[in-house]
Structures are given as structure tokens and as C-alpha cells.
Amino acid sequence: MLNVKDLQLHLDGAVILDKLSFRLESGKTLCVIGESGSGKTSLLRSLQGLAPARFEELCFEPRSGSPVRYRAGWKGRPGLPGSRWVMQDPIAALSPRQKLGVSIAESLHGRNIARQDMNKAVVDALQDVDLPAHFASRRPSEVSMGQAQRACLARALIARPDLIFFDEPLSALDAIVQKQVALTMSRIQRRYGISYVIVTHDLGFAAAYADWVLVLRRGRVEASQAASNFFNAPDSAYCKELIEAAEALGELDTRTSADVGRAEATA
């Protein structure tokens, strides 16, 4: 449903992203892995039309609504219709003086929904991310990081997108909260059949949730493999090194606990 061919991004004469191609099937999870500065966030920005990327083709076919097919460059205003973006720092992503409910409802801007339906949608979305309804009237300064990230998730979810981009959604959170939010993400994906593109540098997380792995290094694709293949037989020496480093740090041990979580979520 998302198909990107030969995406390139040049800024001030520097090559940020070079010849990136990948595709993502409906309901699946693509993890984009790479060290900092490898162009992960630039990729997300390019896919939203926030960075002036060039490409041979950018094609997005949501299950409902008209497909988007751009050739050469982005056209129109930023934002891929039918998709939402959850950012790294949830507090920064929420307007500091706005109640969470208002921020969440803003995701439905331009859809002509009656006020009552809107309120109900907000409460439902909060429920989907395990937040009680009264959080709608809180402000970002009054909630924890984990709660804020859940609110951001609710903001993405309320629009019923077919694709959600995540930019290191867990890196601002504590370990236990990370796990809980990851479980919520996974449950939502199953319930609504949403595709995920998740930028991360956490191999453990990728091992637990990814269907497909895209490794970036200095703006180039280092590996593009199915997750199971990647962790057993990585395509390049660099990827092998990455996996070994993660193993040495014990990151990949979380794989087991996350698997348990996944089982829990399906049950």
C-alpha cells in the first residue's frame, strides 16, 4: 500500500538520503533502523512533504479514500492524507496551552463532525490507548511522558488512518512505560489493521514487532529484509555488527519478554 521508489534528499549540497526504495503491505510493520544522523527522521519528513525530497514514485493507497501517487516531487500541502505521525517527544508534540482532548480532536479537522460525535470520538480514542476519559481536560504539563505519548497515539488513532509513522516513539520513556506503550501500539495495530512505519534504533524492539526491516546508514539502504531473515542472516557486515552490539548490550533479550507481551495482547 505504501510504495517508495528511488527517494533522494539533498540539502545545501549534502546528500541526506540516496536512492531509497521500499514497500509496505497493509497491516504490517516496517522498522527503520539506523544510528543517529543516518537520515531516519529525514525519511519521515520527506514522506510527509516537510523536506524537499525527489523520487521516482511515491505511491500510497489507503483502504478507503483516494490513492496518492506523486512522481518526481511532493505536490500540495504537507501531510500524507490517510496517515498520521507520532513524534519522539510527546510533550513537545502537544500544544502546551491546549487540553489534550482539543489536541486530539484537532486531528479530525475539516471533517465536519458534530460536537457530540467529536466528544465521543475523543473518549473512545482515549479508551483505545488506556487513558480514562477525564484526561481529555488535562494539559500536557499535567501528565507524564507515558500518558502524553498515549495521548499522541490517540490523536493519530482518532483519524482512523491506514498508516501511522512513529519517530522513535519509546525513546523518551522509562523502560517499563516503554513496554506498556509498545503493547498498546501493537494491540491497536491488530484491532484496526493499521500499517506502521517505526523509526527506531532499538534492535530489541524491531526484533519483537517488525515484519520488515530497513537499515539506513549515511542515507543509504544498508539492508532491506524480512525481520526474521534479518536477525538470523543479516545482509551486510554492518548489520551483523549492529546485531552483535545489541546482543552484547543485552538489548535483544527483551525479545522474549516482548513476545510474551505480544501473546498477552492477542489473548
Partner 1 sequence: MSIAAENLAGDQPDLRSKGHVADVSRFVRNLAAGLLVLGIVVTGGFLFTPYDPITPDFLDRLAGPSAEHWFGTDQLGRDVATRILYGGLWSIGLALLITTFGALVGVIVGLAAGHFGRLADMSLMRVTDSFFAFPELIAAVTIAGVLGPSTTNMVLALILVSWMKFARLVRSLAISLAHRDFVVQARLNGLPSWLILWRHILPNIGPSLLVLWTNAWSRSILSISGLSFLGFGVQPPHAEWGAMLLDGKSYMQTAPHVMIFPGLAILLAVLSINLIGDRLRDLIAGPNGLFSD
Partner 2 sequence: MKTSKSGHHLFVGLAGRLGALACVLFGVSLITFTITFFAPGDKAAAIAHARYPDTQSFAPEILEGIRQEFALNEPFFTQYYLWLSRFLSGDFGNSFASNVPVWEIFVSNAAETLTLTLTALVLGLICAFFLSAIAVWRPGSLADRFAVALASIGAAMPNYWLGLLLILFFAAHLNWLPAYGTGTPAHLVLPAITLAFWVTASQTRLLRSFMLEAKAAPYVETLRLRGVSEREIFFRHVLRHACVPALTMIGLDVASLLEGTVIVELTFARGGLGSLLAGSILTRDYPMILFLVLFSALVYVILNTLIEVVQDLLDPRKTFLGRHRAASSGGERP
The continuous run of DSSP H or E covering 104 comes out as: helix 100-106
Report, in Å, the least distance between residue 51 CB and partner 2.
6
Taking residues 16 to 55 in sequence order and writing x for each that binds partner 2 by CB under 8 A, - otherwise, the string is x-------------------xx-xxxx--x-----x----
Applying CB under 8 A, does 183 fall inside the site for partner 1?
A: yes
Among residues 28, 40, 155, 217, the one that binds partner 1 under rule CB under 8 A? 155
Measured between alpha carbons, how far is residue 10 from residues 7, 53, 98, 152, 174 in Å? 10, 7, 36, 30, 35
Choose the one of partner 2, partner 1, none that binds residue 173, judging by a C-beta under 5 to 8 angstroms depending on kind. Answer: partner 1
Choose the one of partner 2, partner 1, none that binds residue 157, judging by a C-beta under 5 to 8 angstroms depending on kind. Answer: none
Taking the C-alpha atoms of residue 235 and residue 209, their distance in angstroms, rounded to an integer, is 19
For partner 2, which is the closer residue by CB, 12 or 115?
A: 12
Which residue shows C-alpha cell 505504501?
A: 2
Applying CB under 8 A, does 201 fall inside the site for partner 2?
A: no
- DSSP tag of 70: E
Taking the C-alpha atoms of residue 222 and residue 224, their distance in angstroms, rounded to an integer, is 7
Applying CB under 8 A, does 169 fall inside the site for partner 2?
A: no
Applying CB under 8 A, does 110 fall inside the site for partner 1?
A: yes
Taking the C-alpha atoms of residue 233 and residue 226, their distance in angstroms, rounded to an integer, is 10
For partner 2, which is the closer residue by CB, 14 or 267?
A: 14
Q: Which residues lie below 8 Å from residue 42, measured CB to CB, with a gap of 6+? A: 9, 16, 17, 51, 219
**CA of residue 24 relative to chain centroid, distance:** 13
Pairing of strands 29-33, 195-200: parallel
- What's at 33, amino acid-wise? I
Residues that bind partner 2 (CB under 8 A): 11-12, 14, 16, 36-37, 39-42, 45, 51
Residues that bind partner 1 (CB under 8 A): 48, 50, 77-79, 84-85, 87, 89, 91-98, 103, 106-107, 109-110, 130-132, 141-147, 155, 159, 173-174, 176-177, 180, 183-184
